[in-house]
Amino acid sequence: MTNIVVVGFGAMGTKTIEELNKKETVHVKAVIDTNPMYKGKFTNDYIKDNKQIPIYNSLEDIEWKDVELAIVTSASFLIQIEPLLVELANKEVNILTIAEEMSYPEATNKEIADKLNKLALNKNITILGTGINPGFILDLFIIVLSNTCLNINEIKATRVNDLSEFGTTVLKSQGVGLSVKEFEEDVRSKKVVGHVGFAQSIHLIAKAFKWELIRLKEEKEPIITNEKVTVQGEIIDKGNVIGCNHKAVAHFKNNKVITFEHPQQVCANNYPETKDEVEIQGVPNIKVKIEPEIPGGIGTVAMIINMIPLIIESQAGLINILDLPRLPSIFNE
Amino acid sequence: MTNIVVVGFGAMGTKTIEELNKKETVHVKAVIDTNPMYKGKFTNDYIKDNKQIPIYNSLEDIEWKDVELAIVTSASFLIQIEPLLVELANKEVNILTIAEEMSYPEATNKEIADKLNKLALNKNITILGTGINPGFILDLFIIVLSNTCLNINEIKATRVNDLSEFGTTVLKSQGVGLSVKEFEEDVRSKKVVGHVGFAQSIHLIAKAFKWELIRLKEEKEPIITNEKVTVQGEIIDKGNVIGCNHKAVAHFKNNKVITFEHPQQVCANNYPETKDEVEIQGVPNIKVKIEPEIPGGIGTVAMIINMIPLIIESQAGLINILDLPRLPSIFNE
């Protein structure tokens, strides 16, 4: 039995708990969420759940001795999550996180990554960032496809998804509802974040392929609606923003190129279908299409669940998909 | 520098040698082919090759002490290749083979597989079967896709390829040019083999997913041309066979099902495009299409080359893709 603590009782946290509760070989011992409203409550006060799991506000409220793994479902950025990861590492538990930048933190801040790696080695635990993207579509999937190639010159990939079902936090992060001018301001002030994780995916591919990066350029463009649309009860006028088209182009010393495009928008009428598409130009050329795209929410929860046996099996340290001790697969018991 | 001996100087062997010769960290020391015409000859007597590699008729003609890996490019079936593998294992070299049944020999003959595993452990070498199919499309690729799923109920996959460019040996193995009656006779006498490897792919998935197989059924149907076609200079009349549609259906104890379909034919006019298609029914549903299909010849050579670092890194024994010591990727130096 693997005892698990889930940190974060938001949308991803609750879905993760629901899935963990279906397993026979894992046990969610406790949930941590700093929101004071959860103090003294149990998971089944809020979600359909056959298990009554206590929710605590602080890491200090739990006996960690029999906990093997913490699953962290809060925050995207390394700098936000670092203090929590340090605190958890000091409890000597393995850490699985969906913070996008943690899928390859070296790409964001080598100093913090080195510090986390040293701490993990020192505490004999494993830390791994996972998710559908980064974590699968634009990195693991492409790296696995590369096995069928003798040579690769260029990689193009596009992920088109639909934000219609998402809440206001996500919609705001893509600039939905803004005027074009406001969008540009919010890109500058980093309120519009677009996709978090291009740098991670690109550095992971570069490491796997032994490509030496010389330039990574990212660009965020507004996706503009040509008709009035209603999103979560709010009207967005023609000419305003319904999403963010985030692109990344990476150049490598040996003339290799990676081009990623990830438009995230509310899919209005006649909008092209959602999909994941990967094109490898090399020997041979490969063109793969997943249609519709692998859904971000379920996909990320699946990646968390399926990585559990792998993080338990893995050597200590801050690891990434290239360090996995075997081919990963669905976690069936 | 990894010293390699390539066994088999046919189409796959020569292409493999050409690719190995482009690498800086591997060295093809010798080629073995039992055909007496090659005695005393060198690779560059036959192929464009900047290296003069000697060809021998027998394993005994070589000093094996500094050889780390043998790549075996001859034969499909376990029973054909077993004696050669035993001989090579006794030379204490790792063995990479494209014999289809060797991708998971347990699925064909557990006794031989156990014997090879014991021998490999005893000699401290690794034996691995690889290729595009089995080896990638219908097993590794599906297993990797499973990471994005919370649950999988059913898997359907189709590989459609075109035999137009292949020689008579391959065409005969699919019954091309036969009447329907002759096709049925040749299926019974096993002259028409269809695809070799369904059992391997299905057992590999079953092992990864912890599914318990109860029934595997294979079926070979003639693909009939509705017009006169010319293949490799030979005319095939309307109503005769231009290929073999080989299907496999596997049922599992927990009501899971795998359905594979692999029509191999000479693509006449208006024939549907070649492709690899995988459909996973589960949570979520996933539909992937690779169009055109990953080519069998180049793809298999790529799998051989890219598995070299992995077999060197791997633990001893008869291994398969589930035993790989990390996520495999293109072998760049």
DSSP state of B42: B
Instruction: Provide the pLDDT for residue A268.
Output: 62
Closest-CA distance, B101 to chain A, in angstroms, reads 19
Identify the CA nearest to B310 among candidates B328, B298, B333: B328
Search chain A and give the residue with CA nearest B298: A284
Closest-CA distance, A266 to chain B, in angstroms, reads 21
Tens digits of residue pLDDT in B278-316: 999 999 999 999 999 999 999 999 999 999 999 999 999
Contact A328 B144 (CB under 8 A): yes
Contact B327 A324 (CB under 8 A): yes
Q: Which residues of chain A have pLDDT under 70?
A: 268-272
CB of A85 closer than 8 Å to CB of A75:
no
- When CB atoms are compared, the residue of B147, B303, B306 closest to A330 is B147
What letter represents residue A282's amino acid? G
Return the axis-axis angle of helices B11-20 and B296-313, rounded to nearest 10°: 60
Where is average pLDDT lowest: A58-67, B174-183, B269-278?
B269-278
Where is average pLDDT lowest: A238-247, B154-163, B231-240?
B231-240
Search chain A and give the residue with CA nearest B143: A329
Confidence of residue B41 (pLDDT cuts 50, 70, 90): very high
Cis peptide leading into B134, omega within 30 of 0? yes
A-B Cβ pairs (cutoff 8 Å, strict): 142
Instruction: Provide the pLDDT for residue B267.
Output: 76
Residues 6+ apart with CB under 8 A from B33: B7, B8, B9, B10, B13, B55, B56, B57
Retrieve residue A328's tokens.
């990963």
Using alpha carbons only, how large is chain B's radius of gyration in Å?
20
- When CB atoms are compared, the residue of B147, B284, B332 closest to A209 is B332
Retrieve residue B116's tokens.
């090879």
- When CB atoms are compared, the residue of A149, A292, A325 closest to B302 is A149
* Beta bridge partner(s), residue A222: A244
Contact B332 A288 (CB under 8 A): no
Neighbours of A255 (CB within 10 A): 9
Instruction: Work out the average pLDDT over B224-234.
Output: 88
Retrieve residue B32's tokens.
């073995």
Contact B332 A291 (CB under 8 A): no
What letter represents residue A64's amino acid? W
Instruction: Provide the pLDDT for residue B272.
Output: 66
Contact B144 A329 (CB under 8 A): yes
Closest-CA distance, B131 to chain A, in angstroms, reads 9
Closest-CA distance, B46 to chain A, in angstroms, reads 22
The pTM assigned to this predicted structure is 0.97
